[in-house]
Structure 1
């Protein structure tokens, strides 16, 4: 009998099966974003793991995976993969290598670069870096967006949006570069609005967002690199000039009330030290960046390559020379003092270091860890793991994460109904 008490009609069983499938899909659509983020961050390599992580039935997880595959975001490999529940084989889940990309742009004192970045933090293509940065933000951002548009034209990839990394605190909600100290840009430059206009003028669809370069590096490392799995992740890094920091709490950047948190470069680590651009003296920004290292080692920077690359090369090739080793030890001690103060305040469960700081950690890991342990309250009770960043171009990958976030939040709403 059917629901009206009448005998069942031919086709009712098929109708009920279709309705059941629709119900599973509707139930699963709310899980599309969480499911995509699990695959994006490498935490759901199979459909069985996806089922367990989402807390849904196998049928619902299958419907969710099929929907994401239809959107061109992931691939579902039906060949047996890792063991599923109760030993059953499960389908593999992977990012669709031919799927859409985000345009990522980075500006720093020694140049700028554009890239296309897919899901999973994979860099698909990069444009050659430029070594000159104009005093006009609109000119620079127009050039870097133009380079990105060229990559899109060459590859024919669909673009879901654009993200920009800049060496400045980016104040919210207006998206202004509050203190681009190492660029010749005016303080308060409306970088997000300029970037949005450049992206629109280039005919690129999707949102255009901007953030601080070290914040974005930390976000990328937390999702795809050395910070994966940390709950309270502190990232400290040298850019091409200066020192920046970022904190990721439970997967989200801690940016403060208006985007200005964790300006760690302006911690004083040497009260009698170098004058800082901020008006202070002995800040980490000028005591532990590439220029500080080159100066301490008695080297005059050249114009051929970036300061960061010159410092890296000197540390790698000249560490056996007494002046270079002494300069490295001086920077390690300054950096350690800064990290110890941050450990006392923030109590992170992991610290990751980028830029020149990563190379200093490689050069003498025991010295740096000893300084942090000796000067921090919590370091003495067991220490905080200090690890090198592992991603190449992590600020670019992080800039792409800004653009990918709306898709991760709502795949259907941003990309449309799957075919």
Structure 2
């Protein structure tokens, strides 16, 4: 669809059909605007698409007919406002969903996620991960399929987030270090096979968990509105990073970009799984905090949960306080190097790093500003990730993408 206004007045059914035909190229962009909350009204949609009000109305009506959005033609006017309020647009809460699964070192979880990044239903976290990826992914898909049966929702795809670099387009997990899975496990293929076997409709996708989290936060959370967004998170073990450049997830030539966990932040530090020493991966994750504080990991709860609770409940203990400061300094050193290289306009932190930021934001920001060239010129905003289960939501975004690209083709088979 061209962005030019339609000079012809609304007329008979032939004119309406012609307008809709011209507008079909705008269905995907329109859906993405509503999906990300950037077009709450038809007036905003009209302006963002650069089309006439009538064409925007036809596009919105088509998306509503597909069961993707709802159009409120009679919204209440705000107090003190003048004129007729514009039609309100929102995702259809009863519309289709995608099946999302996340695997991490301490378990896995499945969920159903609708448009707008809304989690419709979720399973409890399973706290065991088998060394055979087929068993884990099969169990996650079965749990998600059970949610679909119980809710009766239409499924249009499936997405998987795993704590490993994942090649594109093959979908191989190249470094599932904390899962005891074989290097190069074909996780996308295994996941897709289990999805088909469970009778779940739609294509299946797989990605690194922090990449998925960054995508979700950029569309629905703390990263919304950023152009060049850096996301760094601890997960349950290790440290991962992701980059959104000019609004698009940057994965490199084969899906392996931004392995930030293997930046050296303590040259004399702990041996890393990659063969080096003092990497962010082993110097600033939950196990590192527990170890630095002299605490043995307990049998109850994930390492991430134990580390978060240690800071929240015992930060006044001088040993815990010192350990947290050491992790903040190492994290800040790593972030400063990334700022020098990438020059992001926003940084968001997840997992234990979010807790460290909340606990002592001034210290972390000071380290980044002091150690980075661009930080000294005004500072880079450092924010906490804001979405619960953002890797799950991001896994769902992978599966929603074909619908966002072409809603008509994805849902009607045209």
Shorter-chain TM-score: what band? Answer: over 0.9
Matched, 1:116 2:112: yes
Instruction: Give the CA deviation at 1:249.
Output: 1.0
| C-alpha deviation, 1:17, in angstroms | 0.6
Give the number of aligned pairs.
403
Output the aligned Cα RMSD: 1.4
Quote the offset at 1:78 in angstroms. 1.2
- Matched with 1:240 is 236
For 1:120 and 1:158, how far apart are their aligned partners in 2? 16
- Which residue pairs with 1:20 in the alignment? 15
**Which runs of structure 1 show a deviation greater than 4 angstroms over 4 or more consecutive aligned residues?**
none
Question: CA shift at 1:402, angstroms?
Answer: 0.3
State the match for 1:66 in structure 2: 61
Return the alpha-carbon distance in structure 1 between the equivalents of residues 167 and 278 of structure 2: 25
- Per the normalisation by structure 2, the TM-score is 0.96
The structural deviation recorded for 1:149 is 0.3
Q: CA deviation at 1:87?
A: 4.6
Supply the distance in 2 between the matched residues of 1:55 and 1:162 (Cα, whole angstroms): 33
Task: Please give the per-residue CA displacement for 1:123-168, whole angstroms capped at 9, x wherever unaligned.
Answer: 0000111000000000000000000000000000000100000000
Task: Kindly indicate whether residue 260 of structure 2 is the aligned counterpart of residue 264 of structure 1.
Answer: yes
By how many angstroms is 1:80 displaced?
2.9
1:38 to 21, 33, 47: 33
With normalisation by structure 1, the TM-score equals: 0.95
Secondary structure at the counterpart of residue 336 of structure 2: helix
Cα displacement (A) at 1:88: 3.7
Q: Say if 2:138 is the partner of 1:142.
A: yes
CA distance in 2 between partners of 1:81 and 1:104 (Å): 36
Structure 2 unpaired stretches of 5+: 1-9
Residues 1:56 and 2:65 aligned together = no
Query: 190-199 vs 87-96, which deviates more?
Result: 87-96
Write the deviation string for residues 214-233 of structure 1: whole angstroms up to 9, x where unpaired.
00000000000000000000
Q: Indicate the SS of the match to 1:115.
A: strand
2:363 match: 367
> 3-state SS of the aligned residue for 2:156?
strand
Who is 1:294 aligned against?
Answer: 290
Q: Which residue of 2 aligns with 1:408?
A: 404
Q: Distance in 1 between matches of 2:171 and 2:411?
A: 25
Q: How does 1:77-156 map to 2 (within 5 A)?
A: 77-81=72-76, 87-156=83-152
Q: Which runs of 5+ in 1 are unaligned?
A: 1-14
- Which residue, out of 203, 219, 232, partners 1:207? 203
Aligned to 1:193: 189
The match for 1:8 is none
Secondary structure of the corresponding residue to residue 75 of structure 2: strand
Distance, in Å, in 1 between the alignment partners of 2:184 and 2:359 is 38
Cα distance, 1:251 vs structure 2: 1.7
CA-CA distance at 1:172 after TM superposition: 1.6
Bigger CA drift: 92-101 or 409-418?
409-418
